[in-house]
Amino acid sequence: MFLINCPFCGEREQSEFKAGGEAHIVRPKQPTELSDDEWAEYLFMRKNIKGVQFERWNHVHGCRKWFNMVRDTSNDQIKAVYKMGEKPPVK
């Protein structure tokens, strides 16, 4: 359990949010042209990193807006929070 600094609402409890999984997975422009392997890669395969990971979160019990987060999954420390469409502030 931790606090999340929503870019729209400020600091709130994590239980107000829904995790949306790995961020920056780009939806294929032409899904019909993908091979089965490429489709599986897009749909199912995940880095599932132990360490610094880029994620999507949704403030479901607040502003209901999506945003991105950089978080260390080994200790749940949040490195940065940024809006959708923005470049990640840390590498």
Partner 1 sequence: MKNKYSIFSLIKNAFSYHENWEKAWKDPEPKKEYDAVIVGGGGHGLATAYYLAKKHNMKNIAVVEKGWIGGGNTGRNTTIIRSNYLWDASAGLYDHALKIWEGLSQELNYNVMFSQRGVMNLAHNLQDVRDLKRRTHANRLNGIDAVYLNTEEVKKFCPIINTSQDIRYPVLGGTLQRRAGTARHDAVAWGYARGADEMGVDIIQNCEVKGIKRNGDTVEGIETTKGFIKTKKIGVVAAGHSSVIANMAGLKLPLESKPLQALVSEPVKPIIDTVVMSNAVHAYVSQSDKGELVIGAGTDDYVSYSQKGSHDIVEGTLNAILELYPIFSRMRMLRQWGGIVDICPDASPIISKTSIKGLYFNCGWGTGGFKATPGSGDLFAHTIANDEPHKLNAAFNINRFVSGDLVDEHGAAAVAH
Q: List the interface residues with partner 1, window 17-36 (CB under 8 A).
A: 18-19, 21, 36
Q: Using the rule CB under 8 A, is 41 a contact of partner 1?
A: yes
How far, in Å, CA of 84 to CA of 67, rounded?
5
Q: Is 45 in the site for partner 1 (CB under 8 A)?
A: yes
Q: Could you give the CA distance from residue 6 to residue 23 in angstroms, rounded to a whole number?
A: 16
Minimum distance of partner 1 from residue 21's CB (angstroms)? 7
Cα 56-61-63 angle, rounded to 5 deg: 70
- What x-and-dash track marks residues 56-75 binding partner 1 by CB under 8 A? -x-------------x-xxx
User: In the 8-state DSSP scheme, what is residue 63?
Assistant: T
Q: For binding to partner 1 (CB under 8 A), which residues are involved?
A: 1, 14-15, 18-19, 21, 36-37, 39-41, 43-50, 53, 55, 57, 71, 73-76
